[in-house]
Structure 1
Amino acid sequence: MSDLKQLAKPNADITDYEWDVTPPSVKFLIEHLQQLVQQKQKTIEELQVENQWLHNRLDLELDKPNQAHTVSPPEIILWATVGLILTIGGTFVQAYTINAPWSWVGGMKIQTLGVSYQIGAVLLTGCLGGKNAALLSQIVYVILGLAWLPIFERGGGWQYLQQPTFGYILGFIFGAWLCGFYAYQSLARLNSLALSCLIGFVVIHLTGITYLTVLDLLTNLNGNQSLWQAILAYSIYPLPGQIAVVCAVSLIALVMRKLMFS
């Protein structure tokens, strides 16, 4: 036991005289209570540390449903292959729709949208496979097309660089990557997937128009049409049909993401 006469005053408000006349038994009790308080404070600090650790773990567990799926390397290769096949196939398949419900009196009719599923395939790859798979699939698509394989809409080969539509094909690389990037920033929701597709779609057209402008400056588009006529033909006129395809892709991507990752 410590020397009771040497015990420090527990409170500065107590005078030296009051502390000197305090009975030893009371001093001993005060010392014992101070030790208990210190032990309790240490226990509280340990509990606070443990509580913070449990709180952090709980936050991680609760936040897992809000984290987007991370695409693994095998999945990247798989989706890049699927995206390449979809892009090649979509190049030669025309998009169709049915007539509006208010005109069903004469029966439902199938009508063409005037565009192919090519852009839809590019964006769908980004929504499902992510940025890396989408980027890889389109790089391979462009390389194969320039290597004399007739997988572009008008054939293939290095001479395709002079085609006014090549800028849009080049835009697939940037548009697919951006679409895949934004598609996996959060959980799959229709609005986020639609926005991702829209971003990729706009980038594809901006790249195509930029390429048209450069081609017009260098070759005057081979004298076939003016720059404005080319923009009308390749960006403005196909716009309604392509927007319809983008909307369909957003919905399909939502359903497939929910089935695959939920």
Structure 2
Amino acid sequence: MSNLTLALGRPTLADRIVSRTRVMDVVLIIAGAALTAVSAQIAVPLWPVPITGQTLAVLLVGVTLGAVRGGLSMVLYAILGVVGLPVFSESSSGWGVIAGPSGGYIIGFIFAAILTGWLAQREWDRKLLRAFVAFLAGSVVTFAFGLPWLATYLGAVGVPNDLNSVLTAGLYPFILGGIVKSILGAGIITLAWVAVGRRDKKNAHQ
């Protein structure tokens, strides 16, 4: 059935748990968007960008589903928010969120999921240290999109948007949380692989 799947490239954790079919791919893509939407509601309100649980969810989705399905899941998440479903942080929605200070981060989620998924398909998610690096790389990609977007927004609304102001608003408050999320995500995914390996060994001896 591998020819009837959106899971292009090497198998990921999801492929070791469920069947690799197009129907299951769609289910996983929707589930990834839903997980991100739920995680977005775990938020500490800050201006201009809140601290949320989204990033961890995004990276887990990318690592678990792979580059194509992970990226599509984040595209779906963004589209659902734009069309009016309250999936963004603090149950917000609409194009105004994308056009606002957080928009670049949401766009960055797509590419972060693609990168972490690509790394996972090269088995970077099997060992703790490499998994941590993969999660950290995904976080860096998110900020690579989020910070320039934030700078543009701040300038448009007449707020200082020099480098230090942008970093103070959009990076510094998130560094510690990003490291913690990367450690947590790496722990979750490597433990999941250990569990799958044990299951396979048990099934092989039955």
Matched, 1:196 2:134: yes
The aligned residue for residue 77 of structure 2 is 141
Matched-pair contact (CA < 8 Å) for 1:81–1:137: yes
2:176 to 229, 236, 240: 240
Which residue matches 1:33?
none
Structure 1 Cα separation of the partners of residues 139 and 28 of structure 2: 19
Q: Which has the larger radius of gyration?
A: 1
TM-score by length of 1: 0.60
Q: Which residue in the other structure is 1:226 paired with?
A: 161
Secondary structure, in 3 states, of the residue corresponding to 1:85?
Answer: helix
| CA–CA distance in structure 1, aligned partners of residues 132 and 101 of structure 2 | 28
Change (3 A) 1:156 1:225: farther
CA distance 1:251–1:89, change in 2 (3 Å):
same
What is the CA deviation profile of residues 80-125 of structure 1, one whole-angstrom value per residue up to 9, with x for unaligned ones? 2221111001101259xxxxxxxxxxxxxxxxxx932110000011
- Consecutive unaligned residues in structure 2, runs of 5 or more: 1-9, 45-49, 201-206
Residue 198 (structure 2) pairs with residue 249 (structure 1): no
The alpha carbon displacement at 1:159 in A equals 1.9
Alignment equivalent of 1:69, drawn from 1, 7, 11? 11
Aligned partner of 2:89 in structure 1 is 153
Q: TM-score, length-normalised on structure 2?
A: 0.75
Deviating more after overlay: 176-185 vs 68-77: 68-77
- The answer to whether structure 1 residue 171 and structure 2 residue 108 are counterparts is yes
Greater than 6 Å deviation, 4+ residue runs: none
Residue matched to 2:40? 91
Q: Is the 8 A contact 1:215 1:221 kept in 2?
A: yes
**Number of aligned positions between the proteins:** 174
Q: Which fold has the larger relative contact order, with Cα–Cα distance below 8 Å and residues 6 or more apart in sequence?
A: 2
Match of 1:138, SS state, is: helix
Per-residue deviation at 1:247? Answer: 0.9
RMSD of aligned alpha carbons:
2.3
